[in-house]
């Protein structure tokens, strides 16, 4: 069966897809949105988000002080180590200055940042009700504007002719349209592909022990299809946003509450009860995103954050309570660690802690001496019962491998932009984020390129030539 009623097809059901669908519809195109998840699970990883990073030159509603374009760009340049396309990055940054009014028109509300989050009140605008409320608001607005939405409509492949989109296939159903936006996320939920990308270390398939923080529906089917069909790829398949989360979190959709923020207040040991990295290297908001990879490099991809009673009340309590014990040997037994090894590690650490003035809000002078690896800040002996421990596993947020696009969000084939196939969100985020991350930029990229892709797809479908990027 062939369906032919639409100007624009949008593939995906998260933030980028919804921004594209809404923008294309506002430009006068008829739009069909195909979301692979059932309605109850719609919204991809976007349903788990809390905020987006916005540039602004003066205090604005929920944002304090100023966060100018140049500072935003330098932050991005630093975290990516230069693996970013400056033109596309600046396009997204500038678009973050004025997208909130458009978002509000579609029902999104904002709130000041929560205390105890990653100190983001200057840079990040928080969604009232979180990403779930944002996604619900966009779906409501899209329905009201006449966007047709189909759930449980996983697109398997596209029909392309000379780099031009012709139709999408949902099983045996062929859906034609004049233009298409692919916003179907990364491939982090595809465990086979993750296995292949990360390979084996010491005979272990590293990715088998990863947990996926977001949706189970980002299987990378269209990413793989497009790369196979000659679209230019960008990024490295092993690069992803990866944080240490509670090992007891579910395989998918654990979301934000499974993150463990106690690392800098104690020590972290692997399954041999040995420390392996400086837990106090820098402020936690600047370091939390490296710990997923660090845990991934440990045997069995497991680690334990160990703290004592002095740390309680100084970090956001995670959703799962820590293992609690009155003595270190009891704690080791509960974790299945070698008692003597843990006792030795803690004793070596305690002995190495130099007296200082503890201040968790500053890079204080509580450091170890003569210990490898060192703990350079917030190093205090673990000596006050009860002791607590949180088991940690790598938690994948999203992958960075994507398709190459230009300023019109057009997918590139052998260096040439497609005339009617566009990409937005995680599937092209690698153009801006070659590696690293700065909180809130995922939603900035998806919102900016979703709106650009929607504008361009509508223009291509309605024969309006190249449209101006969404204001
Ligand atoms: C726990 C967590 C917290 C986060 N917090 C933040 C935050 O606060 N701020 C921030 O900026 N970023 C955050 N991120 C990252 C953010 O979620 C992403 O950058 C952003 O949501 C990407 O939007 P997207 O639309 O590209 O992808 P998604 O929202 O993941 O949407 C992809 C959609 O495509 C659908 N799909 C996949 N394959 C197909 C197919 N073959 N056919 C049809 N549909 C398909 C999926 O079902 C899904 O609806 C967080 C991520 C997680 C997991």
For residue 256, give the ligand 1 atom closest to its CA: 1
The arithmetic mean of pLDDT across residues 291-319, rounded, is 94
CATH number at residue 104: 3.50.50.60
In terms of domains, do 25 and 174 share one? yes
Q: Which atom of ligand 1 is nearest to the CA of 46?
A: 21
Ligand 1 center from residue 183 Cα (angstroms): 9
Residues 405 and 391 in one domain: no
* Nearest atom of ligand 1 to the alpha carbon of 212: 53
Q: Can you name the residues that pair with 223 across neighbouring β-strands?
A: none
246 CA distance to ligand 1 centroid (A)? 21
In a domain, 196, yes or no: no
User: Residue 55 above 80 pLDDT?
Assistant: yes
CATH number where 251 lies: 3.90.700.10
Whether the Cβ atoms of residue 354 and residue 341 lie closer than 8 Å to each other:
no
**Domain shared by 179 and 61, yes or no:** yes
Q: 336 C-alpha vs ligand 1 centroid, how far in Å?
A: 36
Mutate which of 184, 210, 245, 445 to test ligand 1's pocket (most atoms within 8 Å of Cβ)? 184
Q: Whose CA is nearest to atom 1 of ligand 1?
A: 255
Q: Would 141 be classed as within a structural domain?
A: yes
For residue 37, give the ligand 1 atom closest to its CA: 47
316 SS3 class:
coil
Q: What is the pLDDT of residues 356-375, one digit of tens each?
A: 999 998 999 999 999 999 99
Average pLDDT score over residue span 446-467: 91
Is the domain of 404 the same as that of 388?
no
- Cα–Cα dist 391/248, whole Å: 8
Q: How confident is the model at residue 203 (pLDDT cuts 50, 70, 90)?
A: confident
Has residue 450 been placed in a domain?
yes
| Span from the CA of 430 to the centroid of ligand 1 (angstroms) | 14
Average pLDDT over residues 130-147: 98
State how many domains the chain has.
2
Q: Give the pLDDT confidence score for residue 469 in this predicted structure.
A: 43
Residues 133 and 276 in one domain: no
Give the chain's mean pLDDT.
94
pLDDT score at 119: 66
pLDDT-wise least confident of 118-132, 177-191, 247-261 = 118-132
**Does 317 score more than 90 pLDDT?**
no
Same domain? 136 vs 55: yes
pLDDT over 80 at 115, yes or no: no
**CB neighbour burial string for 46-85, b if at least 16 within 10 angstroms, e if fewer:** bbbbbbbbbbbeeebebbeeebeeeebbebbeebbeebbb
Q: Whose CA is nearest to atom 27 of ligand 1?
A: 185
Strands, E assignment, 117-255: 124-127, 148-150, 157-161, 164-170, 173-182, 200-201, 204-205, 211-212, 233-234, 240-246
Tokens for 281, please give them.
Answer: 């290297």
Ligand 1 atom closest to Cα of 222? 41
Q: Which two tokens stand for residue 469?
A: 């990027």
The residue segments making up the domain with residue 301 are: 243-395
Decide which of 309 and 112 is more confident. 309
**What tens digit of pLDDT does each residue of 146-165 get?**
999 999 999 999 999 999 99
Rounded distance from Cα 290 to ligand 1 centre (Å): 20
Mark whether 306 and 410 lie in a shared domain: no
Cα(174) to centroid(ligand 1), Å: 25
**What is the DSSP track for 335-346?**
HT--HHHHHHHH
Domain edge (last residue) among 395, 423, 444: 395
261 and 322 in a single domain? The answer is: yes
Predicted pLDDT of residue 471: 37
Report pLDDT for 290. 87
Better-scored residue on pLDDT, 140 or 466 = 140
Residue nearest to atom 10 of ligand 1 (CA): 440
The pLDDT assigned to 116 comes to: 56
The tokens of 233 are what? 């790829």
Mean pLDDT to the nearest integer, 374-385: 98
Q: Does pLDDT of 167 surpass 60?
A: yes
Q: Evaluate if residue 467 carries a pLDDT over 70.
A: no
CB 157 within 8 A of CB 225: yes
User: Is residue 275 over pLDDT 60?
Assistant: yes
**Same domain flag for 258 and 314:** yes
Residue 286 in this model has a pLDDT that exceeds 90: no
**Residues 6+ away with beta carbon under 8 Å from 60:** 54
Per-residue pLDDT tens digits for 61-78 = 899 899 999 999 999 999
Query: Mean pLDDT across the stretch 195-212?
Result: 90
Report the pocket of ligand 1 as residue ranges, CB < 6 Å.
11-17, 34-37, 43-46, 48-52, 154-155, 183-185, 213-215, 217-219, 221-222, 255-256, 397-398, 425-426, 440-443, 446
Quote the ligand 1 centre to 279 CA distance (angstroms). Answer: 30
Same domain assignment for residues 154 and 16? yes
User: Which residue's alpha carbon is at the smallest distance from atom 21 of ligand 1?
Assistant: 46
231, 404 contact by CB (below 8 A)? yes
Q: Assess whether pLDDT exceeds 90 at residue 466.
A: no
Alpha-helical (H) ranges within 312-440 are 328-335, 339-352
Exposed, middle or buried: residue 215 (CB in 10 Å: 0-12, 13-18, 19+)? buried
φ and ψ at 8, to 5 degrees? -130, 135
Residue 198 confidence (pLDDT): 87
Specify the pTM. 0.94
Residue in this structure with the two tokens 């989109």, named with its chain if needed: 165
pLDDT band at 238 (very low <50, low <70, confident <90, very high): confident
- In ligand 1, the atom with minimum distance to the C-alpha of 34 is 43
Question: Which atom of ligand 1 is closest in space to residue 444's alpha carbon?
Answer: 11
pLDDT confidence of residue 332 = 98
> Ligand 1 mean position to 185 CA, how many Å?
6
Gap between the Cα atoms of 223 and 183, Å rounded: 10
| 115 within a domain of the structure (yes/no) | yes
Whether residues 435 and 376 share a domain: the answer is no
Mean pLDDT score, 396-409:
96
Burial-class residue 17 by CB neighbours within 10 Å (0-12, 13-18, 19+): buried
User: What's the gap in Å between 198 CA and the centre of ligand 1?
Assistant: 21
* Residue located nearest, by CA, to atom 11 of ligand 1: 440
Q: Is residue 195 part of a domain?
A: no
Is 350 domain-assigned?
Answer: yes
Q: How far apart are the first and last CA of the chain?
A: 38
Same domain, 12 and 64: yes
Q: How far apart are CA 57 and CA 413, in angstroms?
A: 38
Does 57 reside within a domain? yes
Between the CA of 428 and the centroid of ligand 1 the distance, in Å, is 12
């Amino acid at each position: 069966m062939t369906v032919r009623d639409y100007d624009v097809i949008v593939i995906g059901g998260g933030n980028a897809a919804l921004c594209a669908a809404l923008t294309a519809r506002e430009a006068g195109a008829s739009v069909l949105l195909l979301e692979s998840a059932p309605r109850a699970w719609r919204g991809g990883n976007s349903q788990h988000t809390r905020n987006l990073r916005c540039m602004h030159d003066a205090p604005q509603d929920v944002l304090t002080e100023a966060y100018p374009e140049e500072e935003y760009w330098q932050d991005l340049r630093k975290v990516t180590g230069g693996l970013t396309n400056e033109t596309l990055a600046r396009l997204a940054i500038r678009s973050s200055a004025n997208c909130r009014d458009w978002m509000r028109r579609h029902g999104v509300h904002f709130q000041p940042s929560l205390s105890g989050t990653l100190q983001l009140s200057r840079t990040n605008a928080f969604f009232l009700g979180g990403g779930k409320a944002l996604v619900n608001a966009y779906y409501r607005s899209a329905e009201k504007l006449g966007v047709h939405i189909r759930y449980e409509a996983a697109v398997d492949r596209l029909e392309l002719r000379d780099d031009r989109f012709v139709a999408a296939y949902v099983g045996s159903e062929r859906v034609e349209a004049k233009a298409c936006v692919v916003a179907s996320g990364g491939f982090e939920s595809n465990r086979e592909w993750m296995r292949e990308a990360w390979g084996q270390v010491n005979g272990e398939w590293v990715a088998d022990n990863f947990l996926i923080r977001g949706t189970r529906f980002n299987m990378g089917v269209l990413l793989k299809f497009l790369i196979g069909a000659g679209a230019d790829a960008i990024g490295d398949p092993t690069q992803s946003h990866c944080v240490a989360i509670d090992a007891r979190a579910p395989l998918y959709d654990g979301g934000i509450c499974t993150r463990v923020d106690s690392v800098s207040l104690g020590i972290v040991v692997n399954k041999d009860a040995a420390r392996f990295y400086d837990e106090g290297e820098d402020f936690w908001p600047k370091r939390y995103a490296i710990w997923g990879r660090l845990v991934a490099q440990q045997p069995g991809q497991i680690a334990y954050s160990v703290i004592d009673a002095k740390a309680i009340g100084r970090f956001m309590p995670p959703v799962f309570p820590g293992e609690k014990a009155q003595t270190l040997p009891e704690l080791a037994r509960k974790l299945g660690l070698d008692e003597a090894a843990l006792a030795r590690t803690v004793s070596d650490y305690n002995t190495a802690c130099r007296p200082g003035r503890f201040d968790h809000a500053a890079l204080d002078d509580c450091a170890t001496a003569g210990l490898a690896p060192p703990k350079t800040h917030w190093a205090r002996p673990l000596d006050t019962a009860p002791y607590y421990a949180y088991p940690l596993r790598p938690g994948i947020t999203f992958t960075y491998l994507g398709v190459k696009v230009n300023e019109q969000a057009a997918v590139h084939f052998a260096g040439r932009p497609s005339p009617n196939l566009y990409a937005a969100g995680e599937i092209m985020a690698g153009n801006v984020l070659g590696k690293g991350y700065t909180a809130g930029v995922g939603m900035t990229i998806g919102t900016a390129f979703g709106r650009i892709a929607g504008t361009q797809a509508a223009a291509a479908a309605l024969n309006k030539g190249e449209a101006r990027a969404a204001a």
